[in-house]
């Protein structure tokens, strides 16, 4: 497996990470725990060293799963988790709001360490920017945890460029995680140039468009009632039908390269910058193998130009989140 560094930091990880959220949360009922432990360990055997989880995934159950699976091979992996949500008082999935007060950050970090069964969190992200807490206080709280050896690196998720700059001035930001793929390219406008300037790594989540870019979803696909894609404007049947043009483009390139649409989508992301590390998620061993193969798929400059030219003519239909969730991004 090829390796990449997250910006100017000393964190070197596999060129492709593994997003673990869907094993416990968001995409229908939780997957079988023993099968997911097996999948996580298989990922390590296949060269993946970078794993992404969060307190809110479950809540708690995803961190516990990742901890049980990876703590025996702790020295081989880099584990990222996140703080920043106020969880529902009754323990049900979802959240009641945002909370990045320094005392809450510390509580979450201490609890995450226990659930993950590790001595230090490799990368601790603020999950969403909290407008009620100055980012300097957030960065300062994580800085204290880093000084104490409980956290190694600081990250931000879905933050705006000015917020990133302010945080970075207090505690260097190692990585920013935001959605980025062929069907959500807004990060190219301001975010990627700023990260390049500051030497910060970029971790795209949903690099396969929440499954849409694999070509396995069409306007007739029915999701489980607990699948959060049911709430996304981009996943209405009408939007899915309109957005097939992007999948068809990937399919044409894939056929020529003897690859799959998912592999082309991931290879495209990897080709954008050497400090980009996508974290596609899966619960299926065969998809894991498929995704990993994208790392060795070289897209030529002609391939990339063709994708660029064709994609520029396609208008993606539907917002990526409902309004309430969109308000939490880009702050």
pLDDT digits (tens, 9 = 90+) for 128-167: 999 999 999 999 999 999 999 999 999 999 999 999 999 9
**pLDDT confidence of residue 37:** 98
Backbone phi, psi, residue 247, to 5°: -65, -40
**pLDDT confidence of residue 138:** 98
Beta bridge mates, 181 = 184
Q: Write the pLDDT tens digit of every residue in 106-125.
A: 999 999 999 999 999 999 99
Long-range contacts of 99-105 (CB under 8 A, 24+ apart): 99/130, 100/126, 100/129, 100/130, 100/133, 100/137, 100/138, 101/130, 101/133, 101/137, 102/133, 102/137, 102/138, 102/140, 102/141, 102/144, 105/138, 105/141, 105/142, 105/145
Whose CA is closest to 156, among 144, 138, 169, 140? 138
Active site residue 27: no
How crowded is residue 105: how many other Cβ atoms within 10 Å of its Cβ?
25
Cβ-proximal residues to 111 (8 Å cutoff; 6+ apart), any chain: 55
State the Cα–Cα distance between residues 81 and 60, nearest whole angstrom.
11
**pLDDT confidence of residue 68:** 98
**pLDDT confidence of residue 307:** 97
Average pLDDT, the chain: 97
Query: Which H or E run contains 194?
Result: helix 191-198
Q: Return the CA Rg of the chain.
A: 19
The residue-averaged pLDDT of 44-66 equals: 98
Q: Write the pLDDT tens digit of every residue in 218-273.
A: 999 999 999 999 999 999 999 999 999 999 999 999 999 999 999 999 999 999 99
Q: Which of 57, 125, 180, 205 is catalytic?
A: 57
Which domains, ranges and CATH numbers included, belong to the chain?
A: 3-326 (3.20.20.100)
Burial degree of 308 (CB within 10 A; 0-12, 13-18, 19+): exposed
The residue-averaged pLDDT of 32-59 equals: 98
């Amino acid at each position: 497996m090829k390796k990449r560094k997250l910006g100017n930091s000393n964190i070197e990880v596999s060129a492709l990470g593994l997003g673990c959220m869907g094993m416990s949360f968001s995409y229908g009922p939780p997957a079988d725990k023993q099968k997911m432990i097996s999948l996580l360990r298989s990922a390590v055997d296949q060269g993946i060293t970078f794993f992404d989880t969060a307190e809110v995934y479950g809540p708690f159950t995803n961190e516990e799963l990742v901890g049980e699976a990876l703590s025996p091979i702790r020295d081989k992996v880099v584990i990222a988790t996140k703080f920043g949500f106020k969880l529902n008082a009754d323990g049900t999935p979802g959240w009641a709001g945002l909370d990045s007060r320094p005392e809450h950050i510390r509580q979450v970090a201490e609890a995450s360490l226990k659930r993950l069964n590790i001595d230090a969190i490799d990368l601790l992200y603020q999950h969403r920017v909290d407008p009620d807490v100055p980012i300097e206080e957030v960065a300062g709280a994580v800085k204290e945890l880093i000084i104490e050896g409980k956290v190694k690196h600081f990250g931000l998720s879905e933050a705006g460029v000015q917020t990133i700059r302010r945080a970075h001035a207090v505690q260097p930001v190692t990585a920013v995680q935001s959605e980025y793929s062929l069907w959500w390219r807004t990060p190219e406008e301001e975010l990627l140039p700023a990260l390049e300037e500051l030497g910060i790594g970029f971790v795209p989540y949903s690099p396969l468009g929440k499954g849409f870019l694999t070509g396995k979803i069409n306007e007739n696909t029915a999701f489980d009632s607990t699948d959060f894609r049911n709430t996304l404007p981009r996943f209405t049947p009408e939007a899915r039908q309109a957005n097939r043009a992007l999948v068809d483009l990937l399919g044409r390139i894939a056929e020529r390269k003897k690859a799959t649409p998912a592999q082309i989508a991931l290879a495209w992301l990897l080709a954008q910058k050497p400090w980009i590390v996508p974290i596609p998620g899966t619960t299926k061993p065969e998809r894991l193998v498929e995704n990993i193969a994208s790392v060795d798929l070289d897209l030529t400059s002609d391939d990339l130009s063709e994708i660029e030219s064709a994609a520029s003519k396609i208008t993606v239909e539907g917002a990526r989140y409902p309004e309430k969730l969109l308000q939490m991004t880009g702050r």
